[in-house]
């Protein structure tokens, strides 16, 4: 018996590396000092010319959205999901990405699937100005079922220390702006799958008349990156942004309080934006209480930005100039009752 007979095909792994080297090289920025295949990726921080740089790092995955990819055989959006999610996670602290690393683990390596995933990673990295510096592909027979895999992403970005955005300056009276999402992004899929596949008994290629698309098209819509529309504000002499929250797992309910200082609460007006048809459909089909919807899904708001009330119009104008026409005021910051930890209060 040899290693291949035990389930690990080293030749397939080498073929994947050969095919993805060009994809990764196409994302390299001037700061990259190493080639793909080294034991570690090298990146020159000084390329950005920071005076007092702070590195901001994050790691995440795609969650059970992968199950929809397995069922449909569509893997081209997964890489974009992973990169864009990670980009948004460091963006909310004012950081712009430097480089990205990925980890792909599977039971039996399918070179075509692996390369398709990396193509999505590379495309998203190029769009975000981020180098795909390296990664790891692990073949683990007996650990994952055939046709299944897991992916994780690791991102490092930088920001000037005096331009960090951490929410500390948020005070009662500040305004909350909401930026639209492009769908479920990468959260809430355990509930969405239960509604769609177990409750409605739909298949991934079935068409949903209310949404004008198939189940796969709706559920695999890529996670949006907010860097293109936020970057011009970050690079302005006076950014005007006090805090940002990426609305991921936990929805607005659990993510917005993460940026609020003690003594404050967020008041969100649920009628200030139109909930997209996808979320309305899931809410009706699953008879999901609105409270659970707001704590599970982004409900059409993927990023929330806190600004001074007298600067709200200017920031909205900057977002529109950058290509984001959907930004709108969705709430405000209020003083919290004594002893209350930061939370979200909803108004109809």
pLDDT per residue as tens digits for the range 32-48: 999 887 889 999 987 67
Alpha carbons 86 and 324: distance in angstroms, whole number: 20
Angle of helix 111-127 relative to helix 78-91, nearest 10 degrees, comes to 30
Phi and psi, residue 71, nearest 5°: -65, -35
Beta strands in 15-116 (DSSP E): 53-61, 96-106
Which pairs from 281-290 meet CB under 8 Å and 24+ separation?
A: 281/208, 281/210, 281/211, 282/191, 282/192, 282/195, 282/196, 285/195, 285/196, 285/199, 285/200, 286/191, 286/194, 286/195, 286/199, 288/191, 288/195
**CATH 3.30.1330.10 boundaries in the chain:** 10-163
SS3 4: coil
Residue 338 tokens read as 């004594």
Taking only the tens place, the pLDDT of each residue in 196-254 is: 999 999 999 999 999 999 999 999 999 999 999 999 999 988 778 999 999 999 999 99
Q: What is the pLDDT of residues 64-81, one digit of tens each?
A: 999 999 999 999 999 999
Q: What is the mean pLDDT of residues 159-169?
A: 94
Q: What is the CATH number of domain 10-163?
A: 3.30.1330.10
Q: Are 265 and 339 in contact (CB under 8 A)?
A: no
Residue by residue, DSSP assigns 271-282 as: GGSPPPHHHHHH
Q: How far apart are CA 248 and CA 204, in angstroms?
A: 23
Per-residue pLDDT, 6: 62
Ranges for all domains in the chain classified under CATH 3.90.650.10: 175-347
Q: Across-strand partners of 326?
A: none
Average pLDDT over residues 285-301: 97
pTM, full prediction: 0.94
Rounded distance between C-alpha atoms, residue 115 and residue 127, angstroms: 18
Which CATH number applies to 175-347?
Answer: 3.90.650.10
């Amino acid at each position: 018996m040899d290693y291949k007979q035990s389930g690990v095909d080293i030749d397939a792994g080498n073929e994947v590396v050969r095919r993805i080297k060009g994809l990764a090289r196409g994302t390299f920025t001037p700061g990259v000092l190493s080639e793909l295949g080294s034991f570690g990726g090298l990146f020159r921080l000084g390329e950005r010319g920071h005076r007092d740089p702070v590195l901001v790092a994050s790691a995440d995955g795609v969650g059970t959205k992968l199950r929809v990819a397995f069922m449909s055989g569509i893997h081209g959006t997964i890489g974009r999901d992973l990169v864009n999610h990670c980009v948004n996670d460091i963006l909310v602290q004012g950081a712009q990405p430097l480089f990205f690393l990925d980890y792909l683990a599977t039971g039996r390596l399918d070179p075509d699937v692996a390369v398709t995933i990396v193509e999505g990673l590379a495309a998203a990295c190029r769009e975000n100005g981020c180098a795909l510096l390296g990664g790891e592909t692990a073949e683990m027979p007996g650990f994952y079922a055939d046709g299944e895999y897991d992916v994780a992403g690791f991102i490092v970005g930088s920001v000037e220390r005096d331009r960090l955005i951490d929410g500390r300056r948020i005070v009662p009276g500040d305004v909350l702006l909401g930026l639209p999402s492009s769908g479920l992004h990468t959260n809430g899929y355990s509930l969405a799958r239960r509604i769609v596949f177990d409750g409605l008994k739909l298949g991934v290629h079935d068409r949903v008349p209310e949404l004008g698309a198939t189940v796969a098209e709706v559920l695999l819509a890529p996670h949006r990156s907010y860097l293109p529309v936020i970057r011009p504000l970050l690079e302005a002499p006076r950014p005007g942004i006090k805090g940002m929250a990426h609305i991921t797992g936990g929805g607005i309910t659990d993510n917005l309080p993460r940026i609020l200082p003690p003594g404050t609460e967020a008041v969100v007006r649920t009628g200030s934006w139109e909930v997209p048809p996808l979320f309305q459909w899931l809410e009706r089909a699953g008879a999901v209480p609105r409270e659970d919807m707001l704590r599970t899904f982004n409900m059409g708001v993927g990023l929330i930005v806190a600004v001074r009330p007298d600067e709200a119009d200017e920031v909205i104008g900057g977002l529109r100039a950058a290509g984001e026409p959907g930004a709108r005021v969705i709430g405000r910051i209020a003083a919290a009752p004594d002893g209350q930890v930061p939370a979200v209060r909803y108004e109809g």
